[in-house]
Structure 1
Amino acid sequence: MKRLTTLGCLFLLLTSFVWKTDWNQDKAHSELSFSVKHLGVSTVTGFFTDFDAKIVSNKDDFSDAYFEMEARTNSVNTRVDMRDKHLRSADFFDVEKYPTMTFKSTSVKKGKKKTLLVTGDLTLAGVTKSITLTLKPNGKITNQQSGKETAGFDVEGSLKRSDFNFGSKFGETMISDVVQLRASGEFTK
């Protein structure tokens, strides 16, 4: 009986890994952006043109999901070449030393109005800190063109530059300490 119980537990453990579903980013329908206040009077936005994201989940509502994102920091784009070069320098992203920025979830909890609170480790310019993002699932459909099940999400959150020693030469009167984060995307099974 003990052997049968052990085999049953082993079967359940192994099948829980097998049933996990990978959801891969549709790059043509995904974006990762940020915004800051400049001089306290205007909002400057930017985005990353090169990033990957992946979701692994077993549940239809994604409440057990693992989320992972990696952005190439040299792909930062604010539509102003001079500013983008400065952002790539050691004053900010230091792309030579830190070519990627990553996020790896550590927990997912149900939030308000069918949202998920995704907490994870963000690594930015060599500093890793925990942040929590609000993820809104936008539903799932079967894509008529590809025939694949497709899910869409919107993500919002913020971080403090000072927590990551990011752009520390520039005080809050120049660039807000709070950076707003936004992402949206489609993922296919």
Structure 2
Amino acid sequence: MTRIWMVRHGESLLNAAHRLQGWSDAPLTARGVEQASARAGDFARLGVRFDAVVSADGIRHRQTARVLAPEAERAEDEDWREICFGALEGAKVRKVSGMLARFRDTADPMREVLLALAARDIGAEHPDVVVARASAALERAAGLGDEVLVVTSGITKMLLLGALGGDLSRVTGGPSNLSVSTLDGAPGAWTVTRAVVDEL
């Protein structure tokens, strides 16, 4: 059995500026590095030793992985990237917040917003495409050891957890930087054991 420790990257410069990142990229802020260092301390206290570390291919992901597991060999997998927002890449987050208000009475407001974006912008990624690529990345990560750290982004993480039946009812406003989710299992058979937690 493999345990996947899926972690959102630390605060980036675009996070701090309240801008959508998607496939756009920015390095971590000093606060983002501190967040990653604190989470590394949590893993050390728990005695978690990673057999492998995989990150998305953005600088924010690579920096976070390096702080979380400085001694481990790290690999990159572009399928762990954040969803692409198309023309809204780099836009102020409030543009999506306004759309969320329109869908607030639906079962999954964020998914509805992402579907609306994909329907009107050919450059915006469909959420099902994100789930498919993240699922493929998850299967590849499973072959790397018993304890595998994955550093990804918030929406990609939420879409995958939702597709795997994770209970996201307590997550409002998206997962925080360095939030942790765990998946236990093997290729094709995963259980979400921690949906999204800020404290270990």
TM-score normalized by structure 1? 0.30
Structure of greater relative contact order (alpha carbons < 8 Å, 6+ residues apart): 2
Larger Rg: 1
Which structure shows the higher strand fraction?
1
Which structure shows the higher helix fraction?
2
